[in-house]
Amino acid sequence: MRTRGLTWDHPRGYNALAAAAATRTDGELGWDKQPLEGFEAHPIADLCARYDLVVLDHPHVGEAVAAGCLQPLEDHFGADEIAALDAESIGPSLASYRYEGKHWALPLDAATQVMARRADLAGQAPRTWDDVLALSERCPVALSLAGPHSALSFQSIAAALGERCATDDPEIFVSAATGARALDIMAALAARSPASVRDLNPIGILAHMAAHDDVALCPLIYGYVNYAAPANASAKPLAFTDAPRGSPVGEPGSTLGGTGIGISVRCAMTPTLLAHLRWLMSDDAQRGFIPAHDGQPSRRAAWHDPAVNARWGNFYRNTAATLEAAYVRPRHDGAIAFQTEAAALIRDGLDAGTPHAALLDRLQAAYSRSRKP
């Protein structure tokens, strides 16, 4: 029986997986693709019922475990193997898939929110959120607010200010002081953000920045290496650097993204497939094959590899510190629904000028509801 996998329909999500399967699995494995938003719209259990391998984001893990639709990595990989993979993966790329004592996906692709700019329009990259606010008074700075990204940006700003949402006390989403300061920053920038990119997802914003001159900088956007050295000669290359800090000596605040390969319960693992999955995580694939086929590797060594960085405008080296410090979102069963609701609350609240205290109360109520069995 042929093994079927599902990934997302961007060169970064599909090309390396498809090319590797074609050359290394003797036709045993084939990959389908769907829009990235499709993974938010379809329950993970539905996707796992139809596919043997599913590329997923870590906030889906709680839902998947509750549905019993994934096999833990521990069923196929030894403890020493998983420990080595954890040590070799950049930031929390593997740790984000650890839930209830087991790991539920292989860290194929590493990403987090970073800063993207047109160096010809914005000049040097700002370091702190105060610097970003000052720059926004001189040139067009855009916020990524569409879909879930208003909530993700809020959590990243909170992390830069020193508080990781729902971490110190899992019952509290964010403190009043940190939440209000994060909303202050977002409100100021949203009021100045160019309308041309307001409804675009990160891929759309980056493509727009490469083709037009009305956005000089986006301070928080999921990094896509493809835009650092575009194949289209008419597109302007984008410079990617660390996400803003709350203070000059603070850590960059960013919310982890990236994707992992989950093994569904319907998958009948074969020696060929297991060897292929091991190879995808290997140094050879992560530093060579995956970057050469439009992918974005998860192995730390690839992010510091001189040849990989030379090919992609130092995208990896210039954003590695942000990924090492990235914040891991809530992953409980209900986290995806909360993320969707929180994003709409923040976006609508910014539009309506809702008082920060009232908006934070609504966010806390939505978060508390999402945690109820």
- pTM of structure: 0.95
Contact 143, 220 (CB under 8 A): yes
CA angle (78 as vertex; 77, 84 as ends), nearest 5: 95
The whole-angstrom separation of Cα 17 and Cα 285 is: 11
Please report, in tens digits, the pLDDT of each residue of the chain (373 residues total).
589 999 999 899 999 999 999 988 878 899 999 987 777 767 899 999 999 999 999 999 999 999 999 999 999 999 999 999 999 999 999 999 999 999 999 999 999 999 999 999 999 999 999 999 999 999 999 999 999 999 999 999 999 999 999 999 999 999 999 999 999 999 999 999 999 999 999 999 999 999 999 999 999 999 999 999 888 888 999 999 999 999 999 999 999 999 999 999 999 999 999 999 999 999 999 999 999 999 999 999 999 999 999 999 999 999 999 999 999 999 999 999 999 999 999 999 999 999 999 999 999 999 999 998 7
Local structure of residue 289 (DSSP, 8 states): I
- Please compute, for residue 303, the number of CA atoms within 13 A of its CA located in the half-sphere on the CB side: 23
The whole-angstrom separation of Cα 353 and Cα 366 is: 19
The whole-angstrom separation of Cα 224 and Cα 220 is: 12
Helix ranges (H only) for the chain are 11-24, 38-41, 44-50, 61-67, 79-88, 119-122, 129-136, 149-160, 176-192, 202-211, 271-280, 283-284, 290-292, 300-303, 306-311, 315-324, 335-352, 356-370
pLDDT at 24: 84
Contact 109, 297 (CB under 8 A): yes
* Domain annotation for the chain: domains and CATH numbers: 3-110+258-319 (3.40.190.10), 113-255+334-370 (3.40.190.10)
The edge-to-edge listing of strands for the beta sheet with 113-117 is 217-222, 113-117, 239-241
Of how many residues is the chain composed? 373
Which of 213, 219, 225 lies closest to 294 in space, CA to CA? 225
Range 264-274 burial, b when 16+ CB lie within 10 A, else e = beebeeeeebe
Range 113-145 burial, b when 16+ CB lie within 10 A, else e = bbbbbbeeebeebbbbbebbbebbeebbbbbbb
